[in-house]
Structures are given as C-alpha cells and as structure tokens.
Structure 1
C-alpha cells in the first residue's frame, strides 16, 4: 500500500508500520521539512516493504530515531558502517538506488555490469571510510589505461587493443558519484571523496545520419518487406529501434492515418527484471532456451513524452495494409503454431524481432548495396536522419519536431542534433555576402566588333552562314 504524505504546518509527515527485533508490528512517524526528501524516503520504505526486507527497514527506522534523538541505539550504529568494505556497501546501494530513481531493467543491468567489470575489482576490498580523493584520481587513471574486452579485442595483439573510451569512464563516474554521496549520508564515510571537477574529460561521439536522398535510395532498393517497413517507419515517424519492432497492430488506425506509439521491445537480464518492480512491463515473452540469462520484454516507452501518435502518409498506409494482409496469411498457414502477440513487425510465426536483429539486417543490406563503411548507419541513425531532415524542413521548429520524435525537451534536440550541413553553410555565406556588401551588379563585358572579320569568316564557312541566316527570324522576334 502506498504511503500517504500529509503537510502539517511547515513539515511533511507520514506513518508506516515496521517489525521490531522481536517481529512485532510497530508504527513509525516521520517528518521532513522538504517534500522531495519525504517522497524519496517514502519510496525507499515502500520498496523495502515490497521486498519484505524487515532487517534493512529496521535499520533505517533506528537511524532516523537516533538522528532525531541525538543518540545511537543498539539496533544500528553508523560506526558499524564505517568498518564495512566497498563491496558490502555498493551492492546494497545499487538496488536501493535503482528503485529510488525508477531505473529500467536494462539500465539496472548496465549499472550492475559496470560495477562488476570496472568498479568492484578496484575498490572491492577497500574500507569505504578509508577511500580518499587521491584514491579516486588513481582509480580513473588506471581505468583510462584499461584495455577493452569482447569484440574489440578479438584477433588483435595486445598493442592493437584499444583502451576504454571517455564515454565509458563517464558512465562509471556517474555511478560512483551518487554512490559515495549516499555513503556519506548512510554513515559509511565522514567525507565524500568525489567532487564534480574529478569527472573525466571525454569527447561526445556524434551519431552518423543520412540525407534525404540516401533514405530515398534505400526505400527504392530494399526488397525485404519487413526491413523496408521498419526503415520507412523509423524515418517517417522518428521512431526508436525498440518502438519500431514493438509497434502494436491494435493501435493502428488506417482510416484516420495514425497509430499509437505506446510500447517498446527490448532484451533484458532476467536477474535485473526479478530485482526491480515491474510496473512498466507490458509482456514478458517466453524464453527460447530454459537456461537463458536474458529475456525479451514489451514495456512502456522510455519517457512519458515518448507515448505519442505517429501520423501516417498514404505510402505508409498502403505498406502497412499489405503487411497486415501478410500477417493474416501467416496465421492461416501456421494455425495453432502462430504466436499472436499483436506485433506489426515479427517473424512469420509471430515471434518478436529483437531490435539488434533488425539492426543487423539493415547493416547487412547496406553492405550488399555497396554503402561505404563511413556512411553505414544503424536503426537509431534513421531516427536522427529524420530529426535532422524535419528540423530543416520546418525551419528548425524544435517544438513540432520534438513532439514528433517524443524528445523530452528542446535541449535534448539542440544537444544531439546540432550538426550543420555544408550546403546550409554555403547558403548562409551567400546571404551574408548579399546583406553585408549589397548585391553586386554583373559587369558588362564589351568587345570590339570587327565587321570585316565576321564577313571573312562567313565566306570561309558557308555552313555557319546558313545557320546564322536561319536564326535571323528568331532574333527579329526577340527584339
């Protein structure tokens, strides 16, 4: 049951029940001067009650009461935490933090992956209270020298394997900064060893995109009907890859030329899915292998603004109608073996197509069509291509284009879609020239006219004389 926060004077208060050390239910009353703090605290308590974590809840209650009374109780002491290792702290923090910020399963899996691969190997056995700013500096220096693993290291000698990118270092920084902030609050350390100026410097890698003509070429050449529709939808409706393959047939209204973008498809780790609340999960697809560690899910879109209408043109309506007819044929062919999940883009038996699979299909087609390596883009690149195209088409109407793509703010668009095309810069240069210097009249170039020389050439070249004579009526009419 959700905790109800009430304002009493200048305080925001709420009550809840917890179990003491003897398992007896007791009521706890808490008051905060700030609504955000009260709401954050209430969500944490709701999460612990949902997980049936009575022990941690009791610790939080005792901590609150100890701070309020200025004394320490026998149940919990900050001094206990001052002796704990980073590993003991970070895993307890990760799950609480994920719930507090309403982290999605895929983001939570990424958080755990970064802790496991990059953070815990260095800090794991250290006592949190002993970690200093110098330790943090040394950690990031060592991390910047760390070699990549996986596909980037295959069939390469040690000196050819690249080190971690600045963006990877920034992801790690964005994990340990709030972690150490909470470590100070929870009594694991007296002083937060991280400051904002310790953030690693890195250059944001711009995503590649296509011009209108390149997209038009692709739509003319792609023969795979499923891939063609995916590319068409992604560009015309500014859709994310997961939104494209998660398109629901029930939300399509061909008569009024629109469809609802209300769900996205992605693969997540089963462990992450089990540890977080599943409020945003619409469907969990059956595993292909019983021992698989990941699973496909349908979930609500990335943000609230991502839920939107996608407007269809006549070409898209015709293509979607053909696709719906093909789905009906597949249902009749497969019969009971057809898995009807209501997906517009799916395998012939109705099974979902993973965004990564569609990405591979698209890149494979580009290579077969002879697209150069520097021009190959992914499905997300089509979304950027659409945004760039529509910004220019609307004379940079950020509000309209943002609504079309479900971007959360104008800042997001300006930060990620700020490239200027060369032809736009050339046009601007001409406009500046005309405005600054004024339009320059073309100089009339006159040459001396030698009648004798012309007569001589006409005598020597009879064909030229005939052509000139044939043009005389036209020249007379023009004058």
Structure 2
C-alpha cells in the first residue's frame, strides 16, 4: 500500500518495497499538488500489485556500462579488439556526456541530445576518457554517422539488459538509429595493382602486398602467416597457403578482461614497461579460415623469401630472434601489421602517380577484380576472401571499376545511336530460345534466396 501525507505545502507519498536483496525499504516521494500525489499513489499500488514495480536505483550510466561491459565480454567471448572498441565508445563518447546521469532519470530526449552533441564533436576529443586539446585542423574533422550508429547500437543492447536486470522499466534509447555514413572505398584497377607491385623494392612490402592481392587478405592475416602454412606441392604443384591466424597489437588491460581461448600466442615485449602486447589469435570468423591457391609468380617469390630467411638466420644464429612468422625483420622479429601499413604509406608518398588508398583497400581491389574475372562467381570469390556471407562480399567489396564503365559506355553508344535496321548489341534470344517478360522476372525474384539476389546486384554493377 501507498499512503499520502501532507507535509507543509507539499504532499508526500510513502510506500514500502523490497530491494534486490529482499530487504524492506521505506520510500518518500514529494509532490507540489494532491492530484499529482494521488496519481503517483495509484501508479505505485498498481505496479506493486502486478509485480512491475521499479526498485529505486541511483546507479549512473557510467556505473552501469562499466559493469555491463566485462559481463558481456565474458558471456560472448569477445575478441580483444571487440572489447577495446566497445570500451573506447563508452569511455570517450558516452561517459563524458551522460555518464553522471542516473539511469532511471534518463529519457529519450537525453539520448537524442547526445547524438546531436556527438555529431558536432571532433574525432579524438577524448582518448582513454581524458579530454584532449585539439588543433584547429583536428577540430574540423567531426565524428561520422557510422560512429554515432555504433554508439546507438551499444546503448540499445546494453539498456535492453538494464530492463532485464530490473534497473529500467523501458529503454530510453530511441527506436530510430543515426544514419550510417556510407563512403565508397578507393580501390585500384588491375593495371594499377600490377604496376604498383612492380615498383615496390622493399622485399617485406612487396611480399605483403603480393599475398594480399592474390588472397584478398586482411593485414593481420598477412602478418599472421607462418612458413608452415605454405605447401608448394598442394593442388598438383600449384601450391597453396592456409589462412587461420591473425596478428594484432592490443592493450594489456584488455588481455586481462577477455577470454584467452582465441589467443594462440603472446609475443615477448620489445620494450620494458610496454602497455600493449603483440598477439597471434584465431581468425575473425570460422569462414576466415581458408586455403588460398598460389600464382606462379607468388610461388616463386615465396621460395626466394624462405631462402632469404635461412640466410639471415645463418649470418648470426646467436643473436637471431626467430619469431616463427613468415614475415620477419632481418633480426628474426615478427613484422607487425602497423609496420606493413607504415611501409605502404612511405611507398605511396614516394609514388604520387598512384591513386591514394589505404592498405585494406588492396583487399577490396583484389575482391573486386576476382569477382569481375570470375564472371560473378560469388561462392568462389567468397572462398578466397573468407567472408561469412555473400551479401557482405557483394555489397561492401564489389566496387565498380572504371574499365567496366568505359565498356558499358561503348555498348550504350553503339546501341543508342544505331540505325533502325542495325541490330542492337543487347543479346537477342536465338530462335526457339525461351523468353521471359520483365513482370514475370520480378515475380520470380521476389522469392529468390539472398545469394541469387546478391548475384543480381553484382550483375547490375558489372
């Protein structure tokens, strides 16, 4: 039961409830008018009777999220990078703005206000939860819609659990998420890929790029290869290499939080007191474990590279620190993904004649080229790229190459300006060949499986 008591010029609603530990607690809530007090009294009595009463809590957003994070990491066995990225979102984009607010006082307009603030916030304003002073140039680059969408997803998922845990009755996160920022990733045409590879004199960079172009590898997968992954005799002498590991550098604090099951190896620190560790872990998904078929040129380069490793170790066996990785420095230490990126950036600075792309753009370039030369064989290319779904491959990695557009332009010209008696370059059904109307085709596609729809999208692109 709830009781109303007049206290001076206000009215108080007094009621008793049991907290999460089963202990009886008395609670007083004050209202300026009797009507408001009566309304609250009826609400409390109804909630107590139906078991929907929300136990009063002063837990703040910061306290809740920092409690939620390790629990979810343990439950879902997050990889180190997943934990790190979620921690960064909480520390840098949520806590500085609404972290001190009590969960039960949070309303949808507070979340909308957060999104509005973040949309005007410079990238890197907070790092590790600490505010930084940014230069005028840095202040011009604001957070992307994709980052805001990630914040929304984190709040959505975490606050749903807050409802399950009895902290909230209803999630205050708006239904509509901030719109993602979609930007086409720059890629290279096949001629640019070939010319760039020919111009790379750094043997480590050359091999890393060659492996990436042939196998559409992620940079962590390139660095994670070992000599044991190579089989020159496989596929009737064609040769293969297996991708089943990835190299990353992560915060040591993160390693203490995540499940160690996915971590295969932690490399020794190069510097004493380092706050990060270089690790070798399982690949991103099960589909990422795959076998790549070599080209003759890559096969020859790998043979020469393995001979080079033997020579470097023989020069000074006592000081050689064999990391066991395929890509090694002359002293035997592993080549980290960040070093590959730095070498690629240095090469780009020296070769401004090539379009500027990020190293991951090589993976996109390779996937696009393989889709094109395979005639849209999505499954075959998916086996090389290691994507879990064909949708991701087609929607994210199938870029439009300029050469394809030029060819399309030529076909348009020859068909559009053709004389009436000149046959169109569009394929004409042969005699007796079945035809289908556009209406019938659309009806068939309505119930098509996702892979078929993905093939259609790819066909329209090329």
- Aligned equivalent of 1:165: 144
Residue 353 of structure 2 is matched in structure 1 by: 371
Unmatched runs of 5 consecutive residues or more in structure 2: 1-18, 23-47, 423-462
| Aligned residue among 392, 396, 400 for 1:412 | 392
Equivalent in the alignment of 2:121: 146
1:312 matched residue in structure 2: 294
Distance 1:244 1:186, change over 3 A: same
Hey, what's the Cα distance between the residues in 1 that align with 2:57 and 2:125?
37
Is the alpha carbon distance of 1:206 and 1:436 closer, same or farther for their aligned partners in structure 2, counting shifts above 3 Å? closer
Q: Mark the structure with the bigger radius of gyration.
A: 1
> Equivalent residue for 2:308?
326
Q: Is the 8 A contact 2:367 2:398 kept in 1?
A: no
CA distance in 1, matches of 2:406, 2:153: 40
State which of 248, 259, 267 in structure 1 corresponds to 2:249. 267
1:205-226 per-position Cα deviation (integer Å, ceiling 9, x unaligned): 2221111111111121111111
Following TM superposition, by how much is the alpha carbon of 1:243 offset from its aligned partner in structure 2, in angstroms?
0.6
For 2:399 and 2:183, the matched residues in 1 are separated by: 12
Q: Following TM superposition, by how much is the alpha carbon of 1:157 offset from its aligned partner in structure 2, in angstroms? A: 2.3
Does residue 254 (structure 1) correspond to residue 232 (structure 2)? The answer is: yes
Q: Alpha carbons of 1:158 and 1:333: their partners in 2 closer, same or farther (altered >3 Å)?
A: closer
Q: Does 1:203 align with 2:174?
A: no
Q: Tell me if structure 2 keeps the 8 A contact 1:280–1:299.
A: yes
Distance in 1, Cα, partners of 2:404 & 2:328: 40
* Residues 60, 205 of structure 1: alpha-carbon distance in 2 compared, 3 angstrom cutoff: farther
Which position in structure 2 is the counterpart of 1:227? 205
Report Cα offsets for 1:280-325 as digits up to 9, x if no partner. Answer: 1111001122322111000111110100101111111110011101
**2:76 aligns with one of 101, 110, 124:** 101
1:185-204 correspondence runs (5 A)? 185-197=164-176, 199-204=177-182
Matched position secondary structure for 1:187? coil
1:162: Cα distance to partner? 2.2
Structure 1 residue 183 corresponds to structure 2 residue 162: yes
Matched with 2:30 is none
Q: For residue 318 of structure 2, give the secondary structure of its aligned residue in structure 1.
A: helix
> Deviations along 1:21-77, whole A, 9 cap, x unmatched?
xxxxxxxxxxxxxxxxxxxxxxxxxxxxxxxxxxxxxx9999xxxxxxxxx9xxxx9
The CA deviation at 1:427 is 2.8
**Residues 1:266 and 1:439: Cα distance change in structure 2 (over 3 Å):** farther
CA distance in 2, matches of 1:224, 1:436: 49
Partner of 2:333: 351
Of 377, 381, 384, the match for 1:401: 381
| Superposed counterparts of 1:61-80, under 5 Å | none
Alignment of 1:373-392 (within 5 A): 375-392=355-372
- Against the structure 1 CA distance between its residues 81 and 424, is the aligned structure 2 distance closer, same or farther, given a 3 Å change threshold? farther
Offset at residue 436 of structure 1 (A): 7.3
195 and 160 in structure 1: CA distance in 2 versus 1, 3 angstrom threshold? closer
**For the residues of structure 1 that align with 2:56 and 2:274, how far apart are their CA atoms?**
37
Relative to structure 1, is the Cα distance of residues 410 and 370 closer, same or farther in structure 2, using a 3 angstrom cutoff?
same
Alpha-carbon contact 2:371-2:398 (below 8 Å) kept: no
2:134 and 2:21 map into 1 onto residues whose CA distance is 55
Query: Distance in 2 between the 1:78 and 1:319 partners?
Result: 69
Q: What is the number of residues matched between the two proteins?
A: 369
Tell me, what secondary structure is at the counterpart of 1:268?
strand
Cα 1:156–1:347, aligned 2, differ >3 Å: closer, same or farther? same
CA distance in 2, matches of 1:131, 1:182: 15
TM-score by length of 2: 0.74
Kindly indicate whether residue 276 of structure 2 is the aligned counterpart of residue 297 of structure 1. Answer: no
Please name the residue that 1:89 is paired with: 64
Please report how far the alpha carbon of residue 184 of structure 1 lies from its aligned counterpart in structure 2 after TM superposition: 0.8
What secondary structure does 2:247 align onto?
Answer: strand
Distance between the aligned counterparts of 1:240 and 1:186, measured in 2? 39
Residue aligned with 1:279, SS = helix
After superposition, the CA RMSD in angstroms is 2.8
SS in 2 for 1:195: coil
- Find the aligned partners of 1:294 and 1:136 in 2 and give their Cα distance: 33
Query: Structure 1 stretches of 5 or more lacking a match?
Result: 1-58, 63-71, 443-479
SS of structure 1 residue aligned to 2:333? coil
Other-structure match for 2:38: none
Q: Does the CA contact (< 8 Å) of 1:250 and 1:342 recur in 2?
A: no
Partner SS, residue 344 of structure 1: coil
